[in-house]
Structure 1
Amino acid sequence: MNLDEYFRRIGFNGSYSKLDLATLKLIHKQHVMSLPFENLSIHCGERITTDLEVIYDKIVRNSRGGWCLENNSLFGWVLREMGYDTVTLGAKVVIDAANGCGPSDNHLINKVVIDGKSYIADVSFGMSSQVWEPLELVSGKDQPQAAGIFRLIDQGGVWVLEKTSRKPKLVNPEFNKLDLVNRKEKKEIYCFTLTPVEVDHFYEISHQLQTDPNSLFTNKSICSLQTPTGFRGLVGWTYSEVTYKPEEGIDVIDMRDISDDEIDQTLREKFNVKLQNKLQPVNKKVSYTI
């Protein structure tokens, strides 16, 4: 870990001598604005690993992003190197409202303790469910952020992250019926316990998520990057630019389909992602909303 190299990658030029909440908030936001949430390796014939040094080289030195097992692992390493009191937690992503959380931990997050208070740092969920700043681990507290109002709910030792969203307004009417658009005002995102885990906890699920034909990540190629006004997303060939307008109670969604010839240029210009191998975009019918 070279902290200065990481900070250059996320465009952070400030001091990090104080291990306080303000510094944590700043680097958390810089991370999500600079390093995409993406699973493109699966669709480039590459193997995604849980090896921290490989993840570091990929994201910091080779202008890539990663999914949660990469981005949040990297961020946890950064926090430990800085000296923050932090542990890794496993979370279960909510499949749908009817079925609730999945059966196994398929999402990695970090818990950070500062001055006796605990916070959840998650720099890699992507799209409209991405928090820009850490969430205080307090049950039932409304925590407004750019994307909407987030809440952590303690349900007898199992914590649930939920979000209240604004109404979507599509610029292009032809995409109104597309199932990529979330129309639920309130949704649960994932659940977790406060039992710390090690990286080997995720070995099996990492393999499953990138090989199982029923996995979301084998069925869709996904790239997402937060922007000062919202976020950008690419799912298969569908490119979206979302602008948050809290004062109007809406999120403006500008969607369009791009061609194979536009994929590499879009990734470079809109996400600062430079692929070494050819991407085969995928967007099969499985449940997923931006």
Structure 2
Amino acid sequence: MNLGEYFERIGFHGSYDTPDLATLKLIHKRHVMSIPFDNLGMHCGETLTMDLQVIFDKLVRSRRGGWCMENNVLFAWVLREMGYTSTTLGSRIFLNPLKGYSDAEEHIFNKVDIDGVAYVADVSFGLSQQMWEPLELVSGKDQVQLPGTFRFVEKSGVWMLEKMSRKPNIPNPQFAHTSLINKTETQQIYCFTVDPRSAEDFMGTNHQLQTDPSSLFNRKSICSLQTAMGFKALIGWTYSEVTYKPEEGVDVFNMRKVTNDEIERVLRDEFKVTLQNKLQPVNRKSCLTL
């Protein structure tokens, strides 16, 4: 494994001599624009591992995507190699049907400290809730990015991440009432403490999310990639191209159904992903929203 291969994968050609905020912002954004957030492997007969070498070979050398247990583990290695002071953290995901957070920490991400200021670097939440650049870990501050306005709220040592979204515009009337669109103005994303975690702490969760029939990742096949003006997503057989239009106060969701015969082409052309085994798309009922 080496940084040169990773930088080529994300299209980063700048200097990285100094582990500063500007460089962190750039590689963070290049990562989410280049490596998809997806769980496709588990829907084509693969087991998703947290072994760093396996993750590097998959995401970098095979130019695949992965979920947080892969993307953010890889990014933690990148941060260490570049000389950043970073800490692995875990969070509990907000579940809309329950109007509360998951009981266990199901998401892994990284905190980076630069010149006495802490930032959350999370390159693998995907879809509309994906931050494009690291967020300063400060309570009550609105942090505006093209996807929307993010904000942390801290209460008694627990940090909650939320995002203020724009009104969805859905041109295709077939999807006017789809459950894939979250129409609430403020979306709760996850909560966490700053107690350090390690990749090993998530081994059981990594297995459970792949094997539990009630797991979101078992119930839906997901692939998403951030673009210059929004993101693309393939959820089961539903393909979406989302364009952020902050000047109009809306996000435009262009959505359509694809057939089994189209899946391979869509993954190749839109996400630059080629799978070794045939994907079995899944789109059972769950709490996922774009």
Normalising by structure 1, we get a TM-score of 0.99
Q: Distance in 1 between matches of 2:95 and 2:51?
A: 27
What is the identity percentage for the equivalent residue pairs of Structure 1 and Structure 2? 61
Partner of 1:247: 247
Q: Distance in 1 between matches of 2:209 and 2:278?
A: 20
Partner of 2:257: 257
CA RMSD of aligned residues (A): 0.7
Partner of 1:26: 26
The alpha-carbon deviation at position 85 of structure 1 amounts to 0.2
Report how many aligned residue pairs link the two structures: 290
Q: Distance in 2 between matches of 1:194 and 1:225?
A: 28
SS at match of 1:12: coil
Whether contact under 8 Å (2:39, 2:223) holds in the other structure is: yes
Partner of 1:135: 135
Deviation per CA, 1:208-248, whole angstroms, max 9, x where unpaired? 10010000000000000000000000000000000000000
Runs of at least 5 residues in structure 1 that lack an aligned partner in the other structure: none
User: Which amino acid letter does the alignment assign opposite residue 23 of structure 1?
Assistant: T
The alpha-carbon deviation at position 97 of structure 1 amounts to 6.6
Q: Distance in 2 between matches of 1:27 and 1:43?
A: 29
Instruction: For 1:55-74, list aligned pairs within 5 A.
Output: 55-74=55-74
SS at match of 1:285: coil
Partner of 1:170: 170
Q: Distance in 1 between matches of 2:85 and 2:146?
A: 27
Q: Distance in 2 between matches of 1:244 and 1:182?
A: 15
Q: Distance in 1 between matches of 2:67 and 2:278?
A: 19
Deviation per CA, 1:51-77, whole angstroms, max 9, x where unpaired? 011000000000101000100000010
User: Which amino acid letter does the alignment assign opposite residue 286 of structure 1?
Assistant: S
The alpha-carbon deviation at position 198 of structure 1 amounts to 1.2
Whether contact under 8 Å (1:161, 1:189) holds in the other structure is: yes
SS at match of 2:195: coil
Runs of at least 5 residues in structure 2 that lack an aligned partner in the other structure: none
SS at match of 2:240: strand
SS at match of 2:46: coil
Partner of 1:222: 222
Q: Does 1:207 align with 2:197?
A: no
After the TM superposition, which of the residue ranges 88-97 and 188-197 deviates more from structure 2?
A: 88-97
SS at match of 2:190: strand
Q: Distance in 1 between matches of 2:21 and 2:287?
A: 36
SS at match of 2:205: helix
Partner of 2:77: 77
Whether contact under 8 Å (2:97, 2:287) holds in the other structure is: no
The alpha-carbon deviation at position 99 of structure 1 amounts to 3.5
User: Which amino acid letter does the alignment assign opposite residue 232 of structure 2?
Assistant: R
